Amino acid sequence: MMAVDDVWMAEARRINYHISHIRTIADRYMYPTVAAMTTLFGSTDEGTPMASYTTDTVIEAPRDVVYGIFADRERNGEFLPVTTRLKTPGTTERQGVGAVHFLGFGNVGVSEQITTLVPGERIEYKVVAGAPVKSHTGVITFADAPGGTRVVYTMESIPKLPVPAPLLELGLRALVGSFVSGARKTAIKRASA
């Protein structure tokens, strides 16, 4: 009859065998795939895949109208499928640099802080709460263009969780697309009024 210690040792050896077998499989199949994905899709210095999406479009309205719609974050809920509200005013202007806006449903959503504001030219923001990201930034630039205003909107995101960059880029594309589409309709309506 085996002693209790012998039973525990046999069980420990069995578990150790399975763990080493799993490590071998991971080393052989999983880690090279992660390395290949990082090479293919891009990554940060920490090895977490970064996703980025940029749209470059012309909105058929004057620049002051288009810029005003993007800069008035409190009213973005009029054309976005989420509620928007000011949580913290900016340092010198209500919706200026330092302002924090909430975008979401009820109490569930993200908080974005305005980091740069150049009237009529540029808006930059970062997510400061509510999203499972290490970093999420947005940059929107405005310039005169034939027939309206050129808007270049870029979002970049580094998730806390391992999400493939192409999948995250699809999400960024949907967010940017929804925002630009809603802003376009609102700008055209305001410009023709």
Instruction: Please give the full DSSP string across 129-141, using - where no structure is assigned.
Output: ESSSEEEEEEEEE
Between CA 154 and CA 172 the distance in angstroms is 9
The answer to whether residue 18 scores a pLDDT higher than 70 is no
CATH architecture of 43-192: 2-Layer Sandwich (3.30)
Q: Convert the pLDDT of each residue in 130-162 to its tens digit.
A: 988 899 999 999 999 999 999 999 999 998 888
Residues 6 or more apart whose Cβ sits within 8 Å of residue 118? none
Q: What is the pTM of this model?
A: 0.75
pLDDT at residue 40, as a whole number: 43
The answer to whether residue 72 scores a pLDDT higher than 90 is yes
| Residue among 87, 123, 127, 97 nearest 110 (CA) | 127
pLDDT at residue 166, as a whole number: 83
pLDDT at residue 165, as a whole number: 78
Helix H or strand E encompassing 101: strand 100-105
pLDDT at residue 2, as a whole number: 53
Q: Where are the domains of the chain?
A: 1-41, 43-192
pLDDT at residue 75, as a whole number: 94
pLDDT at residue 106, as a whole number: 87
The answer to whether residue 17 scores a pLDDT higher than 80 is no
Between CA 66 and CA 64 the distance in angstroms is 6
The answer to whether residue 55 scores a pLDDT higher than 50 is yes
pLDDT at residue 30, as a whole number: 43
The separation between CA 119 and the C-alpha centre of its own chain, rounded to angstroms, equals 23
